[in-house]
Chain A
Amino acid sequence: MKEKSPSAKEVLIKGALIHNPILIQCAGLCPVVAAATSLKNAALLAAAVSLTTIFTCVFASALLKKIQRWIRMGIYLILGTAVIFPLIFLLESQSKSELSLVLKIFLPLIAVNSATAVHCEQFSVKNTVKLAFYDAVAVSIGSSAVLLICGAVREIIGYSSIAGHRLNIPTTFRSAALPFGCFIILGFLAAILKWISAYRYPNLVADSETIVRVKPKKDEIKDTVEVEVFDEFWNEEPEEAPLEIDEYDEIFDSLDNIFDFSGEEDEK
C-alpha cells in the first residue's frame, strides 16, 4: 500500500518544531554553542544555515535520488561549500568591518553542517522537490529561531547589549557567553519546545514517538543487582534503610502546607 504523502503544514511543523534540528535532533550544535554569542553573529549564522540547507535539500531531491548514498554524502559537502564560500566572500567585500575570528572559523564549518546532511538523507531524497523545499524551509526556520534566540539572550545576559546597542543592566553574567552557558539555554529552550509541541500538536508528537522509541521487552530489563554484588568486596552487610525521623515532620509538616501548589492531599 502506498504511504500517504504528508501535507505542507505537517512538514513545516515537524521540521521546525517537533524535529527541530538543534534542540531535538542535536545536529549542528557546534556553531550555535561556539559562535552565536551575539545577535549579529547569530543572524549571519542563521542566514548561512538557511541558504545551505534550502539549496542542498532542493538539489538533493531534484537530482540525487538515483545516486548511491556514499556518493551523495560527498556531494552534500561540495554543495554546502559552493554556497558558503561565495557568501563569506560577499560578506567580507561588502561589510565595512571585518568578520570576527570566531565567525571566520565557524561560518565555513556550516558547509559541513550535520543538520543539512541529516535532512537531505532522511527526507529530501525520499520526497518530491516541493516537499523537500518545505522541509528545508522549516528546518531553516527552526535553526534560525534557535540561533537568534541564543544569540540575543547570550548578548543581553553576557554583555548587557543587544545588536551592539548598550543596555542599562546592572549585572552581566560572563558565563552566558561561554559554551556551558549556551548549553544551559539550549536545555531550557528544548524543554519549552517539547512542552509547546506536546500541548499544541499532541497527534504529530505521538506519531513521531512511535517511530523513534523502541521499548525493551520486560524480561530484558535488569535494574536491581548492582549494590548487593559489590558490597561483598568489603565483606559488609548492605546498608539498612534509614529510619523515619518524626521530629523533622512535626516542624515541617505545618510549613509544607503553606507551599502546597498542587492541590494534592498529603500522601501519608
Chain B
Amino acid sequence: MIRTEELLLNVGPQHPSTHGVFRIVVKLDGEVITEATPVMGYLHRGTEKIAESLNFTQIIPYTDRMDYVSAMTNNYVLVHAVETMMGLEVPERAEFLRLIVMELQRVASHLVWWGTYLLDIGAMSPFLYAFRDREIIIDLFNELCGARLTYNYMRVGGVKWDAPPGWMDKVRDFIPYMENKLEEYDKLVSGNEIFLARIKGIGKYDAETAIDYGLSGANLRCTGVDWDLRKAEPYSLYSRFEFDVPLGKNGDCYDRYRIRLEEIRQSLRILKQAVRQFPDGGETMGKVPRVIRPPAGEVYVRIESPRGEIGCHIVSKGKAEPYRLKFRRPSFVNLQILPKLLVGETMTNLITILGGVDIVVGEVDC
C-alpha cells in the first residue's frame, strides 16, 4: 500500500505570478488542485475608511492607488459620482480630455496585461515589447499631468491640466503606430501553437455562471454576454463614438485574450474619432463651488474600467467629506470565481487562469 497525502501549498503572498501580494492556499493531489482558497488583505490600506475624513478632492489621489495600472478610470469614477450628485456640468473640452486619457489608459492597461500574461505563460520577450509601447502612453500622461502612474488628473467638474501644445498631435500619431504594433503582436504570439495549447479551453465557464458571480469586463464578455457599460449605460461622451464590443463564445482564457487585444483596437478607434472631434478651445474646469459639498443622499455610479465595472457608492450627509464611500472594484468581484475554476486543474493552469482574470491586487484589497 502506498500512502498518499495531499500537499498543502501556499502560492504567495510572495510569488512571481500572483501579481502582487496575493495568496492562494491550494491543496494538491500530485499536481492537481483539489481545493483552492484565496487569501487577501495584504494590501488593504483602508481607503474607504481614510476617505471618510477627507474631502472629495483629497480622495482623488487615493483612487489612483487602488488600481494603479488604470488610475485614470479610477479618478473618473469618483469625480463622476460627485458630479452626478451635485448635478454639475463638465465643459466639453474637459470631458473630451477625460475620455481620451481613459481610452489611452485602457490601451496601456491591456498592454500590461498582455505582457505579464505571456510572462506567466513563460514567454519573456512579449513583456518587453508591450512595455515599450506602453511607455509611449505613460510619457503622454507624464507630459499632460506630470506623473507616470498615479496621475491625480481629474477634478470634480473638470480636469486639472489642459493639454499642452502639440500633445493632441502626439496622441494622433500614436494611434497608427499602435495599430501596427498590434499586428506585430498577433504575428508574434497569437498563432503560437504552444501558447494556444496553453490557453484554449482553460478556465471555462458559461454565461449563467459569469452573471451569477457578477463578473464584468472581458471576463463577462468572453461568454458572449454583450455588456459593456460604455454601450449599455453610456456615460461621458461614449454615445457619440462608433465602436464595437468584442464578444467571445467559449468563455475560456483564449477568448479573454482575444477580447482584450480587440479592445485595444476598439479603443484606438474611439481615440481616432475623439482626437478628430476635440474642441479647439474652451474651459477645462466647470463652475464648481469652492467647497465641494454634495447634497445629502446617496448615489451609485459605474463605469467600464479595463478590468470591468468599477463602481462608486457615495453616501453623503451634505458635508464636504463623504459619510460612506464604497468602491465596487472589478478585480475583487472577478476574482471570486477563482476557487470554483481551479478545482481539478493543474498548478500550471492555476497561473494561466489567475492571469486570465486580470487582477490588480491594489484594487482587490483597496
Q: Bound pair: A and B?
A: no
